[in-house]
Amino acid sequence: TAAARLCAAHYPAIPISREEIVSVSGAGDSLMAGILAGLLAKHDTGTCVRMGLLAASLSLRSYEPISPEISTSSVSQEQVKSRSWPEAKVWKMD
């Protein structure tokens, strides 16, 4: 069997204009909540990260730290699959 290798991945953020951003408070917490929701639902890494990105983008557009728009349906696997996403860039380390 091949030895496990360390890697890093970059998932580009959802583009948001400066005018759309009303508060940055809670965006990181929302990102993590979306990722954890995906992990608990046993989704793959890409889906989990993109669920987090959806939650963070909703938070950035809200005056509340945790946007009232965030729900199981607004950051679901179905929402992730319905969007077109840029490819994640992966670096494998020796």
**Which pLDDT score, from 0 to 100, does residue 16 have?**
95
Residues 6+ apart with CB under 8 A from 17: none
What would the DSSP string read from start to end of 26-87? THHHHHHHHHHHHHHTT--HHHHHHHHHHHHHHHHT-SSSS-TT--TTTTSHHHHHHS--PP
Give domain limits for the chain: 20-82
**Which pLDDT score, from 0 to 100, does residue 30 have?**
98
pLDDT along the chain (94 residues), means of 10: 80 96 97 98 97 98 96 96 95 87
**Which pLDDT score, from 0 to 100, does residue 4 have?**
74
| Residue 83 phi, psi dihedral angles, 5° rounding | -105, 160
Residue 29: exposure state from Cβ atoms within 10 A (0-12, 13-18, ≥19): middle
This prediction's pTM: 0.90
